[in-house]
Amino acid sequence: MNDRNNQLGNIYVSPRAIATIASQSTIESYGVVGLAAKNLAEGLAQVLVKDPSLGIDVRFENDSIQIDLYIVVEYGVRIKSVARSVQENVRYSVEKAIGLPVTHIDVHVRGLRISNTD
């Protein structure tokens, strides 16, 4: 939970709300074909989750946000570049919406989806 004081009272934003924002911007990132529930066995990682907070872990530390993302990536893309742009997109959209710094985003690539074989 994260609260910010103002004259009228406190504002609480739940990790789930932040996860939803992160989820949206993750799946809009190029190269990502889905989020994977983090507790599924490796082989099941391709079961793409619909629930916006699955596949995303949000933690608060002091006044900053830390996020873990579990994603499935399209086969044939440069994973490093994709992961980096996911980090950038997620940080941008979360910071823009919440106004607190995102200090850490760990991207876990849990699987690849092969839609074309070359």
Partner 1 sequence: MSDFNPPSAAAGRQLAKVSQLDGLGLKQLIEAGMTWLKTNQQTVNALNVFPVPDGDTGTNMVLTLQAAYNEISESGEANIGKMAHMIAQGALMGARGNSGVILSQLFRGFARGLDSLETMDAQLFIKALIEGRNTAYKGVVRPVEGTILTVAKDVAQAAENALAETDDMNMILERIVAEADQSVKRTPDLLPILKQAGVVDSGGKGLFYIYEGMLRHLKNLPLETPVTTVQPLSAMNISETMESIEPGQDYEVVVDFRPSNPLDLETFYNDLSKMGTSIQVGEGDGIYRMHIHVPTENRYRPIDYTMGLGTITKVSMENLIAQMVTQDHTKHTKLQLAPVEPGQIAVVVVSPGVGISRIFASLGAAAIVSGGQTMNPSTEEILQAIEKLPTDRVIVLPNNKNIILAAQASASMTVKKVVIVPSKSVPQGLSAMLRLEPDGDFEQVAKEMVRALGDVETGEVTIATRSVDINGVSVKQGEVIGLHNGQVVESASNLEDACIGLLKKVHTEDRERITLFYGDNISKNEVNTIVDKIRAAYPKHEIELHDGGQPHYQFIIAIE
Beta-carbon contacts of 110 under 8 Å, excluding residues fewer than 6 positions away, are 36, 38, 40, 42, 45, 70, 71, 72
DSSP conformation class of 36? B
CA angle 74, 75, 79 (to 5 degrees): 75
Tell me which of 17, 20, 33, 98 binds partner 1, using CB under 8 A. 33
Q: Does the protein bind partner 1 through residue 12 (CB under 8 A)? A: no
Is residue 35 within 8 A of residue 55, CB to CB? The reply is: yes
Tell me which of 20, 74, 97, 104 binds partner 1, using CB under 8 A. 74
Q: Does the protein bind partner 1 through residue 17 (CB under 8 A)? A: no
Query: 100 phi and psi, to 5 degrees?
Result: -110, 150
Using CB under 8 A, which residues numbered 83 to 102 contact partner 1?
A: 84-85, 88-89, 92-93
Mark the segment that binds partner 1 (CB under 8 A) among 12-20, 37-45, 74-82, 102-110: 74-82
Chain residues in the site for partner 1 (CB under 8 A): 5-7, 25, 27-34, 74, 76-78, 81-82, 84-85, 88-89, 92-93, 115-116, 118
